[in-house]
């Protein structure tokens, strides 16, 4: 076995660049003004603004005026497979998992632009329409939560307890920083194998590439 130098070891830990995908002959469905207007009106005004510092309340208030230009930008983005770089920025806010707060128990929450969330909504809708997810999956799905997962687990344990000569065993695993360490090429390959329409792949690749994040900036008031 040949051991590499420290520099080579660090380079091997870097994420591999995403593969290039040929343009698909098919096109994604064009969004209509009404579709975009509905999403703009669905913006929750009490949410925090993203790195663009545009208040959600302002976006919802001027939904009618923003509909046409945003619809044009979204259709151009999906057609070309290019995501505006402003939409790939995030402000990461540390939220304590428990009280009192400690440095080793903080949950990072990413605040992204509201317009990027609207683009995510349409992309995720197309993805879930193409891919049939396992009914036993409860995470990251609308309308499902840990309560549903626990109810399903208790039901399976009850069925096992009612069956003679049956032993039920629970194996729980926890992957540290699973979303941070997943290989992007593996994700794209899995999506294609599951039936994702090829015309959406370039946009997804660009969406998860070259993302930037920063911590929130605070201004300390000074006395005059």
Tens digits of residue pLDDT in 179-201:
778 888 888 998 989 899 999 99
Q: Which residues contact 166 (CB under 8 A, 6 or more apart)?
A: 160
* Stated length of the chain: 224
Cα–Cα dist 143/132, whole Å: 16
- Burial (CB count <10 Å: 0-12, 13-18, 19+), residue 12: exposed
Computed over every residue of the chain, the mean pLDDT equals 84
Cα–Cα dist 202/208, whole Å: 10
Q: Do β-strands 89-96 and 212-214 pair in parallel, antiparallel, or remain unpaired?
A: parallel
Count Cα neighbours of 73 within 13 Å in the Cβ-side half-sphere: 15
Confidence category of residue 64, pLDDT binned at 50, 70, 90: very high
The structure's pTM equals 0.77
Confidence category of residue 17, pLDDT binned at 50, 70, 90: low
Of the ranges 32-36, 44-48, 130-134, 220-224, the best mean pLDDT one = 32-36
Cα–Cα dist 39/117, whole Å: 9
Cα–Cα dist 89/212, whole Å: 5
Cα–Cα dist 196/182, whole Å: 19
Closest to 27 (Cα-Cα) out of 151, 126, 170: 126
Q: Of the given ranges (49-53, 78-82, 98-102), which has the lowest mean pLDDT?
A: 98-102
Closest to 191 (Cα-Cα) out of 129, 144, 120, 111: 129
């Amino acid at each position: 076995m040949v051991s590499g130098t420290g520099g080579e070891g660090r380079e091997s830990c870097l994420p591999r660049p995403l593969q290039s995908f040929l343009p698909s002959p098919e096109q994604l469905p064009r969004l209509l003004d009404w579709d975009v207007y509905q999403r703009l009106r669905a913006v929750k005004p009490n949410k925090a603004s993203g790195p663009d510092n545009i208040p959600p309340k302002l976006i919802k208030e001027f939904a009618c005026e923003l509909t046409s230009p945003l619809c044009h930008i979204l259709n151009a983005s999906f057609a070309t497979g290019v995501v505006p770089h402003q939409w790939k920025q995030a402000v990461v806010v540390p939220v304590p998992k428990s009280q009192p707060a400690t440095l080793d128990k903080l949950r990072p929450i990413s605040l992204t632009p509201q317009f990027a969330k609207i683009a995510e909504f349409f992309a995720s809708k197309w993805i879930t329409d193409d891919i049939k997810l396992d009914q036993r999956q409860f995470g990251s799905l609308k309308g499902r939560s840990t309560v549903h997962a626990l109810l399903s687990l208790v039901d399976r344990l009850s069925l096992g307890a009612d069956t003679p000569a049956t032993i039920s065993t629970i194996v729980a695993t926890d992957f540290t920083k699973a979303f941070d360490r997943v290989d992007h090429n593996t994700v794209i390959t899995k999506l294609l194998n599951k039936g994702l329409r090829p015309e959406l792949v370039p946009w997804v690749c660009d969406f998860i590439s070259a993302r930037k994040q920063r911590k929130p900036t605070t201004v300390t008031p000074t006395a005059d």
